[in-house]
Structure 1
């Protein structure tokens, strides 16, 4: 608690900027701007902010502190949850999706090779039929089957 007391002029030191030669307490011969408004050179910015804590009442400080800690906890747990979900999705995609994509690509290559072989056989038969004389005994046309079937 602060105790306020009135100090008489005779108790004041001579070098005080507020000391005046007049007997009136309301008049001042020295302005406040000449007192020195420069902050203490040894006082840091953090110390100034820490000194502001006394302005805020303890109940308000407690409310701010609990809300801040709850928000921090919520963000931390949410971040962990999102990280775990991203981990699950990416590992599942790598373990399931990548082999599936590779097998589909291999199947597409096999189908393309079969089509190419069929086209080559049809081209060879077409070329053979162009240069060979028609055979009257060959009335049935044989089916084209790729090798391996």
Structure 2
């Protein structure tokens, strides 16, 4: 940032200053300042440079930008809170209702599979019994017959 000071000139003999003029008026801008070198402060940060630009923007514009920014941040904050609450409700509902339902459906599926397996075993046992049973009670079964599948 540039610091402006009014310096009273005590010596009028030094006329090599770009600010020296013959008139005593301080508001005179007849001398060109293009010959004066501007050195940037090496310690000045980027944030300080941006902060110095605040004076360029008019106060009404700054206020409108500030109010719009604060409204946008409050909207994002509020919507984030609402979305977070909705996600919490959905996940807890799914855990409290969906998980027991899924477990009971899985148990039911296991019971149905076991019943089908038992029916298949019973039908297989009946088929095996009817295969080895003599078709005629007068006819005896031959010994040494290998059952099918062995």
Alignment of 1:52 with 2:53, yes or no, is yes
**Cα distance, 1:51 vs structure 2:** 1.3
Q: What is the alpha-carbon distance in structure 1 between the residues aligned to residue 46 and residue 13 of structure 2?
A: 32
After the TM superposition, which residues 97-116 of structure 1 pair with which residues of structure 2 at under 5 Å, given as runs?
97-116=98-117
Q: Which runs of 5+ in 1 are unaligned?
A: 1-7, 137-149
> Which residue in 1 is equivalent to 2:140?
none
Structure 1 residues 128, 13: closer, same or farther in 2, change over 3 A? farther
After the TM superposition, which residues 1-149 of structure 1 pair with which residues of structure 2 at under 5 Å, given as runs?
11=12, 16=17, 18=18, 32=35, 35-134=36-135
User: How many pairs are equivalent?
Assistant: 121
**Cα distance, 1:43 vs structure 2:** 2.3
Q: What is the alpha-carbon distance in structure 2 between the residues aligned to residue 110 and residue 104 of structure 1?
A: 10
Q: TM-score, normalised by structure 1?
A: 0.68
* Structure in which a larger fraction of residues adopt helix: 1
Structure 1 residues 81, 39: closer, same or farther in 2, change over 3 A? same
Q: Which has the higher contact order (CA 8 A, sep 6+)?
A: 2
Deviations 1:113-142 (A, max 9, x none): 000000001101110111112478xxxxxx
CA RMSD of aligned residues (A): 3.0
**Cα distance, 1:94 vs structure 2:** 1.0
Q: TM-score, normalised by structure 2?
A: 0.68
